[in-house]
Structures are given as C-alpha cells and as structure tokens.
Amino acid sequence: MTADTNTAPASAKPVRSSLLWKRFKKQRTLHLFVWIGVLYLLVFAYTPMFGILMAFKNYTITQGIKGIFTSSWAGFKYFIEFYNDYKFYDIVRNTLVLSLLKVVFTFPIPILFAIMLNEAKNMAFKRVVQTASYLPHFISWVVVLGLSFTFFSSNVGLINQLLLDWGWIAKPLPILTSPNYFWGLAVGSAMWKEAGWWAIIFLAAIAGINPTLYEAAQIDGAGRLARIWHITLPGIRGTVVVVLILTIGSILGGGLVGSNFDQAFLMGNAGNNDTSEIVQTYAFKVGLAQGRYSYAAAIDLVQSVISVILIFTSNAIARKVSGTSLF
C-alpha cells in the first residue's frame, strides 16, 4: 500500500506533463498570438517605462540613453516647478473641464445609439446606419481638422455662410479661433467621430441578451420602453460598468473618445489658447519641443499616477455598488 501510494504522484506527473504538451500543441496558433502580444507589450510598453527615471533626474538629450541612468538626481524638482508654473491652474482647468464634458456628453450617446439601432426592424437600414456611424472612427484627426475648417471657418465656412444668408447672424462666428467655442467644438467632433465605434460594444452586449425575455415581456403586455428599461439596460449593465471604469481611468486623456491631445494640438491656436492648452500639449511644447525631457516626464508621470488611482477607485466603487468590476 505504501509503495503504491508513493509511486502514484510520481507516475501522475509525466501524464500531466504529456497532457499539457498535447494541449499546447493543439493550441499552438493561439499561443503564438498571445506571445506576440506579450512581446509587443514588453518592447513598446514596459521597456520605455525606464524613462520614468528622467522625471527625477537632471537629464539632457546629449547624454543619450545611458544618461537616463547616469545623470544626477533632481528629486522632486520638476514636479515642484510644474506646480509653481504660472499656467498650472489654467491648463489643469482646461484638461479637467474638457475631459468631464466628454464623459458627460459622449458616454451616454453610444449606449442610446446602440439601443435605438437594436430597436430598428429594417435590417438594411440598420446595417447602413451602423456602417455610416462607425466609419468616422477611421478618419484621421488631421482630416477632421480640414472638415472643421470647411464647415466652421469665418471666411469660407459652410455653417457661417448659411447663417449669414438666413440672416441669423450679422457677422461670421469665430468658431475656430475663439476660446468660447473650443470646448463645444472638441466635444462635438469627438462625439461624431467615436460614438458609432463604441456603440458596437454595446450592440454586442445587447445581442447576448436572451430573446425569450423580450417575448415573455411582450406577452405580459410590456411596451417598448418598458422592455428597454427592465430587460435591455439591466442586460448590458456589466458592459456599461466596465466601459465606465475604463472611461474614468482615461478621463485625463478624454475618456471614452480620448483624443484630447490630438484636438488640442491640431485645433488649438493663438486665438483659443486660453481654453485649448491642456496638460498634454503643454508637456509637448514646453518639455519636448524645448528639449526639457525631465520636465515633460514629470508632467506626464503625474497624469499617469492620477489615471491609475482613478481606475482602482472607480473599480472598487463599481464592485461595491453594482457587484460588477473590471478586476
């Protein structure tokens, strides 16, 4: 009995290893793609993180890569310098306001759009609208800037020309150059560009809801709005919570639609600089363009730390309130 008991685990190990090897060979294509993804993250995500050291050092570009490790320590010098910068409060305000506006206005739109598409009965119409709505996602922000100029320019903009012809305004609106219009322009263009793309996720979540629930509710006399409220919305709650967590975690970059840097950098100009200058563009202009890499690294590190804190905080709140979380 003792000998059999001792040899059983030993004989089980080769069998287990053989089964694992067979499973690996069977799924080798999947493993290949996984390891390509891991390699990509190691090379382009984790390796560059050594650059974080620059935020705490007196680094200059003439020192090369070796200088990241050999340059003298500066401590929190650049963090304090950023806090004491005369533009600190303005660019932080612009970043927060622009990001919050995007979350408030662009987060619900894909959900509502997905529900409306799901309720459409004509499949041909549904496909056309869905395709037309997510195609703008693939358009470069440079092209979007050109379209904005075509529609909103004070001189040749289509919108200004129509408003003038109709007599609704006495002179062209400086939509592209006035600080009063930048936030609305940024939120509106981001919503147009990304709403259809994100609606795909919520449409997939809706497609996973058991159709018999709708049939039973209809037999019980529930109307369309009642079915949406009691079946559709609870059915996609998990997806909504996960996307909301990711949105809050990336809120400083623009949330669900992102693009804060692209819009501020491309659409920002001397006229609307009071509202278009944000943390990311400031780090680029003052830090990178002037060769102050340590200062730029310090600014971006602050933003990254805040984003990580927001992800963990929102995840903990979501787990406690709804029972659904990202991790």
pLDDT tens, position by position, 272-307: 999 999 999 999 988 778 888 999 999 989 888 888
pLDDT at 187: 92
pLDDT tens, position by position, 204-237: 999 999 999 998 998 888 888 999 999 999 999 9
* For residue 2, pLDDT beyond 70: no
pLDDT tens, position by position, 150-166: 999 988 889 999 999 99
Q: Rounded mean pLDDT of 11-26?
A: 71
Q: Rounded mean pLDDT of 187-206?
A: 91
Long-range contacts of 187-191 (CB under 8 A, 24+ apart): 187/98, 187/101, 187/102, 187/105, 187/106, 189/144, 189/148, 189/263, 190/102, 190/106, 190/254, 190/257, 190/258, 190/259, 190/263, 191/105, 191/106, 191/109, 191/257
pLDDT at 9: 53
Rounded to the nearest integer, the mean pLDDT of the chain is 87
pLDDT tens, position by position, 105-118: 888 999 999 999 99
Closest of 220, 218, 216, 214 to residue 232, by C-alpha: 214
Which value, to the nearest 10 degrees, does the dihedral of the CA atoms of residues 92, 95, 97, 101 take? -160
Q: Where are the domains of the chain?
A: 76-322
CATH number, span 76-322 = 1.10.3720.10
- The whole-model pTM stands at 0.82
Contact 299, 81 (CB under 8 A): no
Q: Rounded mean pLDDT of 16-45?
A: 83
Q: Band the pLDDT of 1: cuts 50, 70, 90.
A: very low
Q: Rounded mean pLDDT of 71-78?
A: 92
Q: Give me 107's structure tokens.
A: 């987060």
* For residue 4, pLDDT beyond 70: no
For residue 33, report the phi and psi dihedrals to the nearest 5 degrees. Answer: -65, -40
